Structure 1
Amino acid sequence: MKPIVVIPARGGSKGIPGKNIKILGGKPLIEYTIRAAREVFQDDQIVVSTDDPNIISVVNSIGLNVPFKRPSRLASDSSGTYEVLLHALEYVEGTGYLPDVLILLQPTSPFRSSQHINEAMKLYETNSELEMVVSVSESKANPYFVLFEENEQGYLQNSKKGSFSRRQDCPQVWEFNGAIYIIDVKTLKSKRLSEFEKRAKYVMDEISSHDLDTPLDWLVAKAIVEEKLKKPTEI
């Protein structure tokens, strides 16, 4: 395999301003992801895609080179991850390196470790037909039990039909946690991530899956870090 890691980190963030380089547990948020990636891949296989000079400066200070500045057209609120990945891939291929698998690691998942990445990679390697391995956590919002939609009369009904009296009896359902996407490059060039069909799950626990999007998410992350600081080897 010829891997390339893409860490997307645009400067604009409304939920948590400046979150990608906001200090968490004594270091910039993005450093958690860079460190995990470095434990699995070489530096020249890791690309941080950003439009923000401040993020570039922080990443450079960590010792990782940022090879390009993302164009502003790919850094707005409406910009999609798919286009950002294709842009990074185009740059990398322009250098002569032709990856066949792209690993997307979002900096908003600080508790995803190198062990998680390694395990997900091994899962990808075991099935040559896979288009993507994606990290998930078990969803607490089960559509058979606690998720409802309004019908034509305006009454609530279960999102998915089933006769279950306890949530534990419902089929397991999974949600993407945003931590790890291992993507077949050939497939990526032919269709969007949402159109992938041959996807396998890599299951992560609740704490490792924690994603930062809102101020409350940040407070929870601080609590996790403060607790784990008692055991420095865990984070």
Structure 2
Amino acid sequence: MNVLCVIPVRSGSKGVPGKNIKDLGGRPLVEWTISQALAAKANIDVVVSTDSPETAEIAERAGANVPFLRPLELAQDTTPTEPVVEHALNFRRAEGRTYDAVMLLQATSPLRQPDTIDRAIEQFETTGVDSLVGVVPIAPFIWRFGPDEGAPPAADYDVEHRKRRQDMTLTDLRFRENGSLYVTRPEIYDRFHNRIGGTIGLFVLSELEGVDIDTDIDFRLAELQMDDYSQSIGGWGA
């Protein structure tokens, strides 16, 4: 399977200024995701999409391809991710390249296990889904307000038969999309302009892999988790 891996890295960040190149565990944040993609056994074309020459230099030193600087109109605070991925895909297509799948990896989720990317691609290929979404399991103890003001709240679980977390099965749990990883057929982007579409599969990530850095607090938590992560990967990707 021939896979285009797009890592979007915009220079502007209001939550954590310069977060994508900020030091985490002794290397720029984006470098973790690049090294994980490059270490995969699958046939992956690793492309970083950035509007920043400084970030482009860091990405190239880490081994990624940076075949263009992202146009300004695709590097705004309000820019969705899908047009960024489609821009990279169409750039490669214009060079005559074709792909069976497009993998989207967010640099803000840097704590992936050594086999995560290969397992995701294998699951995508063997199950025949059109899009695969990385998710993190959470307990189903979720509440929501009713549709009308003053309506009683409702639980998303059976409050009269509350299970212990350790007794729950996959069907009992809920799964949070954390933005870390998506694998999608190129035609889904062409038809729906969305990373998710067609037949959808869930790729379950570990709790540690659920880190998603949007704020300064998130970054500090990731720093605290780096020791556990480094021990779990045994020096892989260093």
- Same fold (TM > 0.5): yes
2:57 is matched with 57
The aligned amino acid for 1:112 is R
Deviations for 1:22-61, whole angstroms, at most 9, x for unmatched residues? 0001100011000000012689711100111221121123
Q: Is the partner of 1:220 in helix, strand or coil?
A: helix
| Deviation at residue 185 of structure 1 after TM alignment | 0.7
| Deviation at residue 195 of structure 1 after TM alignment | 5.8
Q: Is the partner of 2:86 in helix, strand or coil?
A: helix
1:133 is matched with 132
- Please say if residues 148 and 156 of structure 1, whose CA atoms lie closer than 8 Å, have aligned partners that are also in contact: no
1:218 is matched with 219
- Please give the alpha-carbon distance, in whole angstroms, between the structure 2 residues aligned to 1:28 and 1:36: 13
Q: Is the partner of 2:98 in helix, strand or coil?
A: coil
| Deviation at residue 146 of structure 1 after TM alignment | 2.9
Structure 1 residue 88 corresponds to structure 2 residue 84? no
* Inter-CA distance 43–205: structure 2 relative to 1 (3 Å threshold): closer
1:166 is matched with 162
- Please give the alpha-carbon distance, in whole angstroms, between the structure 1 residues aligned to 2:176 and 2:8: 21
* Inter-CA distance 232–84: structure 2 relative to 1 (3 Å threshold): closer
* Inter-CA distance 153–62: structure 2 relative to 1 (3 Å threshold): closer
- Please give the alpha-carbon distance, in whole angstroms, between the structure 2 residues aligned to 1:20 and 1:147: 34
- Please give the alpha-carbon distance, in whole angstroms, between the structure 1 residues aligned to 2:10 and 2:127: 33
Counterpart mapping for 1:150-165 below 5 A = 150-158=146-154, 160=156, 162-165=158-161
Q: Among all aligned residue pairs of Structure 1 and Structure 2, give the percentage whose two residues are the same amino acid.
A: 32
2:143 is matched with 147
TM-score of the pair, normalised by structure 1: 0.88
CA RMSD of aligned residues (A): 2.4
Q: Which runs of 5 or more structure 2 residues have no equivalent in the other structure?
A: none
* Inter-CA distance 220–97: structure 2 relative to 1 (3 Å threshold): same
2:48 is matched with 48
Structure 1 residue 180 corresponds to structure 2 residue 181? yes
- Please give the alpha-carbon distance, in whole angstroms, between the structure 2 residues aligned to 1:118 and 1:231: 17
1:9 is matched with 9
* Inter-CA distance 162–43: structure 2 relative to 1 (3 Å threshold): closer
- Please give the alpha-carbon distance, in whole angstroms, between the structure 1 residues aligned to 2:215 and 2:92: 32
| Deviation at residue 194 of structure 1 after TM alignment | 6.6
Deviates more, 1:3-12 or 1:54-63: 54-63
- Please give the alpha-carbon distance, in whole angstroms, between the structure 1 residues aligned to 2:3 and 2:195: 21
| Deviation at residue 233 of structure 1 after TM alignment | 1.5
| Deviation at residue 211 of structure 1 after TM alignment | 1.1
- Please give the alpha-carbon distance, in whole angstroms, between the structure 2 residues aligned to 1:234 and 1:155: 53
Q: Aligned residues, how many?
A: 231
- Please say if residues 2 and 44 of structure 2, whose CA atoms lie closer than 8 Å, have aligned partners that are also in contact: no
- Please give the alpha-carbon distance, in whole angstroms, between the structure 1 residues aligned to 2:95 and 2:195: 28
* Inter-CA distance 82–228: structure 2 relative to 1 (3 Å threshold): closer
Q: Which runs of 5 or more structure 1 residues have no equivalent in the other structure?
A: none
- Please give the alpha-carbon distance, in whole angstroms, between the structure 2 residues aligned to 1:149 and 1:210: 27
TM-score of the pair, normalised by structure 2: 0.87
Q: Is the partner of 2:206 in helix, strand or coil?
A: coil
- Please give the alpha-carbon distance, in whole angstroms, between the structure 2 residues aligned to 1:77 and 1:43: 32
